[in-house]
Amino acid sequence: MTILTRRKLIGSAAIGAGGLLTGCDALNRNPAFQDILASAETANFAVQRALGDRMELASEYEITDLSPTFRANGTRDPGTPEYAASAAQGFANWQLRMTGLFDRPQQFSLAALQSLPQRTQITRHDCVEGWSAIGQWTGVPLKILLDIARVQDSARFLVFDCADSLGGRPYYESIDLLDGFHPQTILAHRLNGSALPIANGAPLRLRVERQLGYKHAKYVTGIQAVASLAGIGEGKGGYWQDVANYEWYAGI
């Protein structure tokens, strides 16, 4: 009798587990429930911003701490004829356009960017998938570019346009001005002492060290200062936010 009861209990537990999974999948497809889950992003953003002094630096490492190989992920080569042509001449014709809510919109060649003051930092790159790699990045602090172009008061976000597409959609990312002016936010053109490899985003890659890897846009061609992210892509602020449910704030 006891055994039968136990068997029944185990059986109903298995059915319960199956029901739980079906239930979770149904909840996962429910937009209202997704909104509830996504509220954690707001909490993470508010708490993580409140915990530091807002300009707190990410850990920096020694040259002996470098990963033996720096893994490349996402697009490893934009593969367009224009990109290939530019790569063939060492990106001498690469242009970075700063448009939108700037008092003085700018256009920089790679050489012009390299002639500005530079910052070199050895930081840990944390991918949303779970792996990490430590690399040495050299580039121009974004703050210098923002000061030259003069961000208008109405601007709230910086949108990074990229030369690569995934599944026919152009990659893009966005950050707020606080991260834009952060001392470790740079447009990097060198990795581990050499010109940035194509697989890692040549010739220009955003480093926004306090967030996960997908925020670090590669193959950057333009920076738009905008008041709102609506109207860009699907309005969620980035490629992965638009195509899947990745969070705009990627501090965790």
Partner 1 sequence: MPKESRIRQQSRHRLTTRLWHWINALCLLVLLMSGLTIFNAHPRLYWGEYGANDDYAWMAVGSSETFGYLRVGQARIETTGFLGNWQDSEGRTRTLAFPGWATIPSSYSLADGRRWHLFFAWTFSLGLALFMIRSLWNRHIQNDLQMRRKEWRPSNIWQSFCTHTKISEIRKSADKGYNVIQKLAYIMVIFILLPLMILTGLAMSPAMDANWPFLTDLFGGRQSARSVHFLAAFLLVVFFLIHIVMVFLSGPLRQTAAMITGGQDREIGR
Under the rule (CB under 8 A), what is the footprint of partner 1? 6, 9, 17-18, 20-21, 24-25, 28, 34, 36-41, 43-44, 48, 51-52, 56-59, 61, 65, 67-69, 71, 124, 126-134, 209-212, 240, 244-247, 250-252
Between 57 and 111, CB nearer to partner 1: 57
Nearer to partner 1, 66 or 116 (CB): 66
Concatenate the DSSP letters of all residues of 73-137 into one string: -S-S----HHHHHHHHTTTTT-EEEEEESBSS-EEEEHHHHHTS--EEEEEEEE-TTS-EEEEEE
Minimum CB distance to partner 1, residue 113 (Å): 25
Task: Name which of 211 and 221 has its Cβ closer to partner 1.
Answer: 211
Give the CB-side neighbour count of residue 68, counting CA atoms within 13 A. 0
CB of 231 to partner 1, least distance (A): 22
Query: Closer to partner 1 at the Cβ: 174 or 224?
Result: 174
CB 186 within 8 A of CB 142: yes
For residue 7, the SS3 value is helix
Measured from the CB of residue 80, what is the shortest distance to partner 1 in angstroms? 27
Q: How far is the CB of 252 from partner 1 (least distance, A)?
A: 4
Pairing between strand 186-191 and 169-176? unpaired
